[in-house]
Structure 1
């Protein structure tokens, strides 16, 4: 599938890793005059060491670009979704998010959707993976593989000019997990702990009720499945654009 092939390369994570590793490079000057003049004079006639390093880096970048071009797909989302998709999509190139908007009766709904993130090593219910019983390990392993990444969602429902409800979620490939909720308007005299809560600190009925609440506002499995495809595709294109900008800088 196109989704799994793009995810397999984890392009944005690779880009971040490349930046992090390069930030630790240092150039050490020669120690003393003797070391400074001990190098042969052939460097005056051959390629400079910096030029060789630049050429090597460009080869690596070109290889990554060729791989990313194979992974990235140009998709006509409007044609694929048709007129039934309940949200308007706002996508700005060079950013790590998109925004979905819609109006429903007296409400204005905004959904901020972020690029995929690696899943935690801890179970969603807070228990460690190694506590799984031996007879359940096979089923747990398949579930862990499916949940190796998630897409952060922030659903903000505006009720009138000042009041709002904000629900933070993690969308896994097979599940939507609600993390926390907050509501406003915010007032300076009100402690943030009075209007924000982790869903895990509330009765289980709260999470079930909020799942129904979100579904009634078009945050359904069909929409989240689309968002996974869209954001993985966006991640690939953002990584490809980043590589091309980096190549242009190195070639100067």
Structure 2
């Protein structure tokens, strides 16, 4: 991804005055001069005119340039509303998405997946062994209920680009986790047969490696969407 703010000559609007190798900006003029000569920009209201300082105007110009660049460089796609048997609910402006499905006659499965929240570095394999490969990490909370108001079974999972790993298994009372609830043992320390059985339990419900691959593609797109949203939000605030 391109750096968020590329403060260079090519990224500044053509209207920025240059003189040889010297950049002539209002910011380089004496403070007293531009305090008495504010830049005039019309606000969102058609009835009023707002005056912005050169500092604010410069930020707005840079944000507009970055928005244009990011939009043209890799515009985000419309996020899918479903995957396999799951409905996918995007959370605009938030760092997670929610997935839901029914399994069998009485099971409700709810999943909350974060955006990328970590990574690990692995040595490269194959012909090119120089450097490292980075694998991004997504956290999943998987809640399974059997009927409204019933207790549930919760899973904390790690979704990697090539698979899914269970980290914790715990009980949910009603629709919430009790403050001092026992979160269960470290799954990695359990008997391998039990670990395999737990993975098969989730795989039968569609919580598997294919879901991990889908979520990684989804979050790459959401990351770009949220970047553009953030740039637009900051620009709108400065313009107010």
1:177 aligns with 2:165: yes
Query: Which residue of the partner structure matches residue 74 of structure 1?
Result: 77
The whole-number CA distance in structure 1 between the counterparts of 2:163 and 2:98 is: 20
TM-score after normalising by structure 1: 0.65
Could you tell me whether the CA contact under 8 Å between 1:146 and 1:174 is conserved in 2? no
Stretches of structure 1 that go unaligned for 5 or more consecutive residues are 1-7, 15-38, 122-128, 130-136
- Residue 9 of structure 1 deviates from its aligned partner by 5.0
Of 114, 118, 138, which aligns to 1:151? 138
Of 214, 218, 224, which aligns to 1:230? 218
Query: Which residue of the partner structure matches residue 115 of structure 1?
Result: 115
The structure where helix makes up a greater share of residues is 1
The whole-number CA distance in structure 1 between the counterparts of 2:145 and 2:131 is: 35
1:76-95 alpha-carbon deviations (Å, 9 max, x no partner): 625xx6xx721112223222
The whole-number CA distance in structure 2 between the counterparts of 1:72 and 1:237 is: 8
- Residue 237 of structure 1 deviates from its aligned partner by 1.1
Change (3 A) 1:58 1:96: same
Tell which has more relative contact order, 1 or 2 (C-alpha 8 A, sep 6+): 1
- Residue 251 of structure 1 deviates from its aligned partner by 1.3
The whole-number CA distance in structure 2 between the counterparts of 1:74 and 1:104 is: 29
Query: Which residue of the partner structure matches residue 51 of structure 1?
Result: 53
Change (3 A) 1:60 1:216: same
Change (3 A) 1:238 1:44: closer
RMSD: 3.4
The whole-number CA distance in structure 1 between the counterparts of 2:166 and 2:224 is: 26
The whole-number CA distance in structure 2 between the counterparts of 1:9 and 1:169 is: 30
Query: Which residue of the partner structure matches residue 125 of structure 2?
Result: 139
The structure where strand makes up a greater share of residues is 2
- Residue 178 of structure 1 deviates from its aligned partner by 1.6
Change (3 A) 1:207 1:143: farther
Of 60, 63, 67, which aligns to 2:62? 60
